[in-house]
């Protein structure tokens, strides 16, 4: 074999070897991306290791910070008010469920155009440990106008993927707060006392447990419409619009109004109310008024044991409620505040004047008299 042929074979072998190496690298890279496809982008995140979560939205203009304090998450933007655990779990679940459908790029120069940078992303969610180190994070773009989906990448890498069914994440601080303040069973409400600069009045359930009456109702007055029922049952569903630590509430609040609601089991909810610049603020507490000790004996019947258990549970619930809401000032909606502060004169109207005695009979006789003939 000539030297020329040997040279050609050697060159061919080098080319084939190089192509094999290149194919091997491409296969590994493609295989890595293929492995990532349809798999969650965030993997190996231990929820118990999360000490803080930040949710940025509106291209970084809005941020919610959830911090684990004493074993539960709080909302920093709400002065550390306890977070709704369901909302936090939903955020975590939605982020862990983001799955890659197609690998788009590994070039960071394309991130801005795809909407997966701090300045362009729709959502940027980061998870931190107790030492303040970021342990996971993800960026999600706005929904793509050309495709049914969005783009996403991990904050720690450049690989960007197309994702189908992008999540809708809660991005407001109020979204992570349970705004239900009091939800008293309307069937258990027994008495309501409303106090204000205009005076005080008491609505209570009559002995038939069906009729609401006004204590000391004037003889010439009666309830006007059904507004009194709305006042009586105002705590059957009371929610707040905002909350702040007492130290961060307006300094000049004057709590000159109150709404006190007593339930059948002797639980009493007390709201102190203040009006400031067309906004109503409230503090709330609860107290269990039946202070008689509960003694359980062997001779107690199942019915008696059930009643005693219910009392102990209600007692504990009142204590827990008072502790949970201590030190917080709530902002109420105007329509709900109106139910809690409505003056008595808006609940009453004059009784209709009785007809004069005999007037009805005389009218009846006149109606029945035959008409006179006229020639």
Gap between the Cα atoms of 312 and 298, Å rounded: 18
- Is 254 found in the same domain as 210? yes
Closest Cα to residue 171, out of 57, 285, 297? 57
- Is 126 found in the same domain as 237? no
Question: Stretch 309-320: mean pLDDT, rounded?
Answer: 93
pLDDT for the residue 13: 44
Average pLDDT of the chain to the nearest whole number: 87
Question: Stretch 368-375: mean pLDDT, rounded?
Answer: 45
pLDDT for the residue 361: 53
Which segment of 46-60, 197-211, 294-308 scores lowest on mean pLDDT? 294-308
- Is 209 found in the same domain as 260? yes
pLDDT for the residue 119: 93
pLDDT for the residue 12: 44
Residue 107 placed within a domain = yes
- Is 107 found in the same domain as 217? no
The domain boundary, picked from 176, 198, 224, lies at: 176
- Is 332 found in the same domain as 219? yes
List CB contacts of 57: < 8 A, sequence separation 6 or more. Answer: 63, 122, 123, 124, 169, 171
How does pLDDT run across 151-178, given as a tens digit for each residue? Answer: 999 999 999 999 999 999 999 999 999 9
Residue 32 placed within a domain = no
Q: Which residues pair with 203 in a beta bridge?
A: 192, 214
pLDDT for the residue 354: 78
Residue 89 placed within a domain = yes
Q: Which residue has the higher pLDDT, 32 or 55?
A: 55
H-run or E-run covering 276? strand 267-276
Question: Stretch 312-334: mean pLDDT, rounded?
Answer: 96
Q: Which residues pair with 288 in a beta bridge?
A: 267
- Is 131 found in the same domain as 76? yes
DSSP 148: S
pLDDT for the residue 31: 43
Question: Stretch 287-305: mean pLDDT, rounded?
Answer: 85
Gap between the Cα atoms of 295 and 308, Å rounded: 8
Number of C-beta neighbours around residue 119 at 10 A: 10
Residue 38 placed within a domain = no
- Is 190 found in the same domain as 140? no
Gap between the Cα atoms of 107 and 100, Å rounded: 17
- Is 221 found in the same domain as 142? no
- Is 338 found in the same domain as 224? yes
| 113 pLDDT above the threshold of 90 | yes
- Is 172 found in the same domain as 185? no
Q: How many domains does the chain have?
A: 2
How does pLDDT run across 10-38, given as a tens digit for each residue? Answer: 444 444 444 444 344 434 444 445 445 77
pLDDT for the residue 359: 55
> Phi/psi zone of residue 132: left (φ > 0), alpha (ψ -120 to 50 degrees), beta?
left
- Is 193 found in the same domain as 120? no
Asked whether the beta carbons of 154 and 136 are under 8 A apart, the reply is yes
How does pLDDT run across 233-244, given as a tens digit for each residue? Answer: 999 999 999 999
The model's pTM is 0.80
DSSP 141: P
The domain boundary, picked from 176, 205, 222, lies at: 176
- Is 114 found in the same domain as 95? yes
| 292 pLDDT above the threshold of 90 | no
Domain of residue 205: give its range. 180-350
For the residues of 227-272, what is the DSSP string, one character each? Answer: HHHHHHTGGGSEE-SEEEEGGGS-TT----EEEEEEETTSEEEEEE
pLDDT for the residue 307: 86
Residue 235 placed within a domain = yes
Residue 311 placed within a domain = yes
The domain boundary, picked from 154, 176, 198, lies at: 176
């Amino acid at each position: 074999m000539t030297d020329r042929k040997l040279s050609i074979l050697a060159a061919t072998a080098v080319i084939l070897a190089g192509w094999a190496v290149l194919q091997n690298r491409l296969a590994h890279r493609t295989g890595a991306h293929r492995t990532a496809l349809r798999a969650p982008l965030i993997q190996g995140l231990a929820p118990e290791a999360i000490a803080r979560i930040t949710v940025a939205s509106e291209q970084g203009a809005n941020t919610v910070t959830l911090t684990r304090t004493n074993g539960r998450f709080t909302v920093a933007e709400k002065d550390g008010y306890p977070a709704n655990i369901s909302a936090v779990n939903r955020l975590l679940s939605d982020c862990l469920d983001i799955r890659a459908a197609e690998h788009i790029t590994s070039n960071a120069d394309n991130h801005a155009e795809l909407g997966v940078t701090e300045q362009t992303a729709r959502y940027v969610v980061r998870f931190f440990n107790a030492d303040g180190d970021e342990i996971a994070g993800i960026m999600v773009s706005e929904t793509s106008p050309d495709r049914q989906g969005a783009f996403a990448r991990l904050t720690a890498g450049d690989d960007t993927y197309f994702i189908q069914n992008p999540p809708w994440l809660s991005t407001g601080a109020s979204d992570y707060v349970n705004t239900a303040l009091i939800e008293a069973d309307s069937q258990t409400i027994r008495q309501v006392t409303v106090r204000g600069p205009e005076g005080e009045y008491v609505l209570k359930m009559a002995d038939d447990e069906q009729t609401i009456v006004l204590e000391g109702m004037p003889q010439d007055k009666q309830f006007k419409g059904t507004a009194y029922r709305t006042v009586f049952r105002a705590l059957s569903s009371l929610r707040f619009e905002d909350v702040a630590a007492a130290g961060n509430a307006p300094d000049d609040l004057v709590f000159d109004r109150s709404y006190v609601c007593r339930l059948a089991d002797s639980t009493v909810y007390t709201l102190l109310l203040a009006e400031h610049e067309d906004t109503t603020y409230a503090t709330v507490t609860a107290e269990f008024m039946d202070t008689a000790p509960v003694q359980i004996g062997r001779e107690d019947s199942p019915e008696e044991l059930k009643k005693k258990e219910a009392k102990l549970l209600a007692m504990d619930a009142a204590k827990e409620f008072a502790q949970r809401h201590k030190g917080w000032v709530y902002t109420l909606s105007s329509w709900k505040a109106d139910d809690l502060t409505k003056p008595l004169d808006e609940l009453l109207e004059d009784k209709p004047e009785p007809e004069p005695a005999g007037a009805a009979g005389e009218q009846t006789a006149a109606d029945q008299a035959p008409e006179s003939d006229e020639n």
